A and B are shown apart, each in its own frame.
Chain A
Amino acid sequence: MPGSLTMARTAAEVIRISRYASPCELFAARSRSHKIPARGQKDFYPDDSEEQRQRLQQSLDEHWNLIAEERVERLGNLVKATWVPSDQIVELQTPAGKFWQTMGFSAEGKQYLLPEEALYLMECGNLLVFHQDLPLSIQDGYEMFLSSDGVSLQQYQVFGHLKRLGYVVHRFDPSSEPSSYVRQLNLPQSRERGGRQLKRKRSPSPTPTCSHTKTTGESLAEKMEDDDKLPESHLMTSAEPPEPQTASPHSAAKGQARTWWMMDAPELEADKISSPGSPSGRLRWNFSTIPFPDLGSTSRPRCMVPVDPSLLPRNVTVGVCDLDSWMRKINLRKVKMSVKEQQREKRRRRWDVNKDREVQRCRNWAEYHELLARRQAKRQGRPAHLWNREVKPLHDPTQPISTAELLEKISVVKSTNLLEGASRLKCSEEWRICFNVYQPDSVADFKKSNPGKPYSRMCVCSFDGPVPDLRVIKQLAFQSGDVPIVYAVVDHGDISFYTFKDFQLPRDVYA
């Protein structure tokens, strides 16, 4: 019956199986097969049939054969190294093999491997590590190289999983990551990857690139000021704020209002001058305050208002406009009106305000004015009961507004993106990025001194632990810059990989 206990074999048998292989067995291991048997189809339910029992036994035997097999290698194929516990590092004694292209580092003329890299190479059968002149077993490696202070068992599981798939995996060092501004400037990167490991006891030295980029950044900003293309400077995405000098020619020339520059300005008539606003406001025109004279109406045109010089391009002056000649050129053809329209015109011309019953009901001028105001409001779609109270409608339907802006106005929940406010967050103690991961096909021309931008960064956690909250996700995403973060969740033998991506709901076609 499955589940009943079976007796362990006798002690002698135990000893025979688990001791070192004899030289004869080692020699014979040269011609071992390198294939693993494919797993067959599984059954659904145990039915105590002999066939099932046999298949199970066969699967188990295959399984045990694979598990029991030990790693046997020619001594000449193995790279030898020693474990240095004081530095938590593995020092190579013989020259490194092919793995040197993506793993390890040089320091003080010697070659070193990080503990997780050494353990992985031990498991691959490429490396033989000695400690106190005795070779370490894989078990020794696990117990001595992995700890919660350095690389934990879960982190090593993720490391090993990715390495076995072919990825290049390096430890993540937050202080040696260039900021997005530095990357924008495309400065040559230099990485002193290994030296940092050995100098771990000292405080981390500030990277030399930081101060360098600050000075170049400043000189670039100065160049922008001297440039004549001043409006463009407002639109550049650089981190430096636009210098006040760039806007000074504008404000110096006209001390007048820039009412049509600002979206939030109240509706003004053209000849009113409001207080000068800030010139670095948004460059949007408020057409409701720019008067366009209506010369085509049948009523007599008013006098032409002089054009605000700030509306005109530089070096263009406008004199007095002779309206008469223009008026003679328009309204030359008689407008063809339908019967209904003709009747409407006749009614309009004959309209006598005194015949209006509502007007007759007004007893004084005040009431008449109220009547007019009410009618005006209704016509404009601004009924008094809505607009004359404390709580007004959010938007006047007669005013033009784009869909995006309208959605902005009515939105209670504002959409945001992942990195908003992320720079203010402090680093959390439990959550940190562990590894940089580079793609397998980059191995051929991979350079340890200049690995380039990683494919992704790994943060290792487990199903037993807490789920990363928004704060953690934001903080780690900010620390990672433009490289996506993958959360590797370890659940005993299984690893699941998750990422969080920003998603924008579409709001407006032109927004």
Chain B
Amino acid sequence: MEAPPCSQVEELQQEQEHGSSLVVGLSLCDSAPLLWRFQDLKTVRSNSLVGALLGSLPRTPRQNIRLGRPLLLMPEEERVLREHHGAAALSARNQDAAGAAELRQRYEEEQQRSLEEQSILALEDRKSALLRAMTSSSGSESGAGSDEALQCRLLALEQNFSFPRSALAVQLSTARAGLSQCQEDRAFLEADWPIREQDSPRRDARYQVFRDLWGRGFFLTSAGKFGGDFLVYPGDPLRFHAHFIAVCLTLDESICMLDVLSVARLGSNVKKTVLLCSPAPDGSVHYTSLQWSGMM
């Protein structure tokens, strides 16, 4: 594996020169970086960063197979975004009194407008349902008589119709409505996400390996359940199985034979190749794959 991993970075710089920078809004929850806005999730995935979904899926909240927003980023993913100036802090919730009062007024107005519009829509809906029912039942008959009856019924419907507030459909937003409301606010979205992680040789090794594999076009997710650091997919995890379990070690770290055996056994059980990855001082990464060969 000799190809240098810099093609990725060059392209990113070219994009920035074009003036259309790719920036996603991160917000911290209990010191974990989360992505809430749907567009940000799409952007991040199109750059082969997968993340992990944490929330309930709005359509079917009471199951664990498919989850919904927010998206949690791995520390390595967060760092990649930061180093490519793609991570910006989303503004916090507006807490001051003046701003809150204005927002409250806007909210009330919007609710009222929504109520009126939905009321009209509901009435239209009922009218067309009535029309469908009447024309289908009296299909053979035609003439002014049935027409008049229809008009009477419609009038009666309109007079007696009421749309209670409890029938109003409201949205429980997933992401906080913030910058995306006003176009000019985007200018204030500075991609200056601070450095959050502490330096440790282990974390550094993990990041070097992540960056190298990501640069080669692989999709990486976390692999705690498989006894390794990353699961390496040749394509989008939605469509492909993982090929490798990457275990990151520094070059001078010694590893016990029993650990090698256990991770090799685990890999063969789940039909994935184990990769021992070590970043070299010159920036490249050394990979060693383990293959379990039986005695014939």
Contact = CB atoms under 8 A, between A and B. Distances in A.
Interface of A: 1-9, 11-12, 14-15, 17-21, 23-24, 26-27, 29-30, 32-36, 39, 42-46, 52, 55-56, 59-60, 63-64, 66-76, 78, 120, 122-125, 128, 132-135, 137-140, 142-144, 146-148, 152-153, 157, 160-161, 164-166, 463, 489, 491-494, 496
B130 interface: no
19 contacts: A5-B46, A8-B23, A8-B39, A30-B169, A36-B66, A42-B240, A60-B45, A66-B66, A69-B59, A71-B174, A75-B169, A78-B172, A123-B56, A137-B174, A138-B69, A142-B29, A166-B62, A492-B74, A496-B225
Given A14-B180, A18-B39, A60-B236, A139 B175 contact: yes
A67 B66 CA distance: 10
B201 to A, nearest CB: 15
Interface in B130-175: 164-175
B198 interface: no
A3 B217 contact: yes
Given A143-B27, A491-B224, A26 B170 contact: yes
Contact of B27 (A139, A164, A493): A139
B239 interface: yes
Nearest to B24: A8
Interface stretch (B100-108, B259-267, B279-287): B100-108
B22 A7 contact: yes
Given A26-B171, A133-B100, A140-B176, 15 more contacts: A3-B48, A6-B22, A7-B22, A8-B22, A18-B38, A27-B122, A46-B234, A134-B103, A135-B172, A138-B69, A138-B173, A138-B175, A142-B34, A153-B32, A492-B222
A25 to B, nearest CB: 9
Nearest to B117: A23
Contact of A67 (B18, B69, B216, B235): B69
- The residue in A36, A137, A139, A165 that gathers the most chain B C-beta atoms within 10 A of its C-beta is A139
A137 B225 contact: no
A493 B52 contact: yes
Contacts of B29: 142-143, 146, 153
Contacts of A122: 172
A63 B238 contact: yes
A67 B27 contact: no
Interface of B: 8, 11-12, 15, 18, 20-23, 27-32, 34, 36-39, 41-43, 45-48, 52-64, 66-70, 72, 74, 92-93, 100, 103-104, 107, 110, 113-114, 117-118, 121-122, 164-177, 180-181, 183, 186, 214-219, 221-222, 224-225, 234-236, 238-241
B173 A70 contact: yes
Given A72-B169, A125-B61, A44 B241 contact: yes
Contacts of B170: 26, 72-75, 78, 128, 135
B169 A27 contact: yes
B20 to A, nearest CB: 5
A56 B38 contact: no
A21 to B, nearest CB: 5
B61 A123 contact: yes
- The residue in B30, B69, B234 that gathers the most chain A C-beta atoms within 10 A of its C-beta is B30
A4 B29 CA distance: 30
Contacts of A71: 58, 171-172, 174
B58 A11 contact: no
A58 to B, nearest CB: 9
A6 B47 contact: yes
A496 B27 contact: no
A5 B68 CA distance: 24
A160 B56 contact: yes
B234 A45 contact: yes
B240 A46 contact: yes
Contacts of B174: 70-71, 137-139
A164 B68 CA distance: 13
A142 B38 contact: no
A457 B174 CA distance: 31
Given A45-B234, A138-B174, A124 B241 contact: no
A157 B224 CA distance: 16
B239 A43 contact: yes
B6 to A, nearest CB: 13
